[in-house]
Structure 1
Amino acid sequence: MTDTPISEMSFEDAMKALEELVSRLERGDVPLEQSISLYERGAALKKRCEDKLKEAEEKVAAITLDADGNPKGTTPVEGL
């Protein structure tokens, strides 16, 4: 685990930490109290990933729309 606060993690770092955490929980060899702590951290990591994705969506929208909110002739990214 990294010492970087979740609020300062990049999307990639938060996703990697979340994947590692899920892997630990799936193994099932973590005591209940630690599982609860890990689950809480996982929820925070998931939220960080969602927030970073939303930021990216907003940046893409700002780049691809003109001042009137009309497309600038670019194709929107599928799934965003």
Structure 2
Amino acid sequence: MTRFARREAAVREILESTPPVVPPDLYADALARGSRMLRRRAAARRVLWVLLGAAVVAFTVWALTVRPWDQPPSDTTPPVTGW
């Protein structure tokens, strides 16, 4: 028997058998689990947005106080005075 024939026989056996009995409270459990998952994802998304906003604010405050774009004063040569 070839692999294709074995697969076809297995599929026919599955299709011709009676479907398994589904518990009656399965729908309610799945619905509760799904809504709980959605609430957790939404809460995690909100927390991540808040953390991102806090990081942007912290970076902005740091950049405005430190001013990293300004050149630091040169300490290698003293200022030339009295020529």
| Smaller-chain TM-score bracket | 0.3 to 0.5
* TM-score normalised per structure 2: 0.43
Q: Of the two structures, which has the highest relative contact order with CA contacts closer than 8 Å and spacing of 6 or more?
A: 1
TM norm structure 1: 0.45
Q: Please tell me whether Structure 1 or Structure 2 has the larger radius of gyration of its CA atoms.
A: 2
